Amino acid sequence: MLVQEWQIQEDFELFRQIKAGDRKAFSVIYEKYREVVYTTAYLVLHDKTDAEDVMQEVFLALWAQRGKIEIKSTVKFYLSRIAHNMSLNKIEHNSNHAKRNLRYSRMNVNFEHPYVYVNNNEQRDTLNNAMKMLPEKSRRSLELVYFEEKSHKEVADLIGLSVNTVKTQVYSSLKLMRAKLHLK
């Protein structure tokens, strides 16, 4: 019990240092709890890549929000709780993403892509023109994710970008396309 109390106090001291901007203290906490955070995320998500993404997001959020965070329990519990909540958010996001994919697949339109058939030239031209207005890298990411059905990780590896950059490009592209096409 004494060792456990000592570790809790050590964690609070490290967190106090993190709040002050100490990167070494952050590295210690990261190394100490990354497996706990990953395992928590994996138990919710049942996917290694998503769990890894959540683990990274937890620690990025910890660093970014360090000045605002007040830990009322243990650092371990706090990080586990954040991992659990972010995992639930990821499930909801993935569900919404899947619904959006289904909605777009039902549009039965062609973005000048060989795998999709369209019988409405005006609709095809409108969509093609909207696609052409996207920045080249964003358009390419969108095509790889939606038409070649590659994961964000596969696209990131293929293009040489981070997974989060690819996700942002795809999200931004879809948002621009929806606005251009007056879709919800």
**pLDDT above 70 (res 40):** yes
Residue 61: name the closest of 98, 90, 39 by CA. Answer: 90
**pLDDT above 90 (res 66):** yes
Q: Return the domain boundaries, the chain.
A: 2-92, 107-181
Q: What pLDDT, on the 0 to 100 scale, is given for residue 123? A: 64
Burial of 20 (0-12, 13-18, 19+ CB in 10 A): exposed
CA-derived radius of gyration, the chain: 21
Number of residues that this document lists for the chain: 184
> Higher confidence at residue 84 or residue 72?
84
> Higher confidence at residue 3 or residue 96?
96
Q: What pLDDT, on the 0 to 100 scale, is given for residue 98? A: 59
pLDDT tens, position by position, 76-122 = 999 999 999 999 988 887 666 555 555 555 444 444 444 344 445 66
The mean pLDDT value of the chain amounts to: 81
Q: What pLDDT, on the 0 to 100 scale, is given for residue 117? A: 43
Helix, strand, coil % over all residues of the chain, rounded to 5: 75, 0, 25
Q: What pLDDT, on the 0 to 100 scale, is given for residue 110? A: 43
Least confident of 50-59, 62-71, 122-131, 151-160: 122-131
**pLDDT above 90 (res 19):** yes
Instruction: Show the tokens assigned to 180.
Output: 């251009």
| Domain 107-181 is found in CATH 1.10.3300.10 | no
SS3 68: coil
Q: What percent of the chain has pLDDT over 70?
A: 80
How far, in Å, CA of 27 to CA of 50, rounded?
Answer: 22
DSSP-derived letter for residue 1 is -
What is the signed CA dihedral for 19, 65, 51, 99, rounded to 10 degrees?
A: 180
Q: What is the mean pLDDT of residues 30-38?
A: 95
**pLDDT above 70 (res 178):** yes
Instruction: Show the tokens assigned to 14.
Output: 């490290």
Query: What CATH class does 2-92 carry?
Result: mainly alpha
Q: What pLDDT, on the 0 to 100 scale, is given for residue 97? A: 58
The pTM (predicted TM-score) of the whole model is 0.53
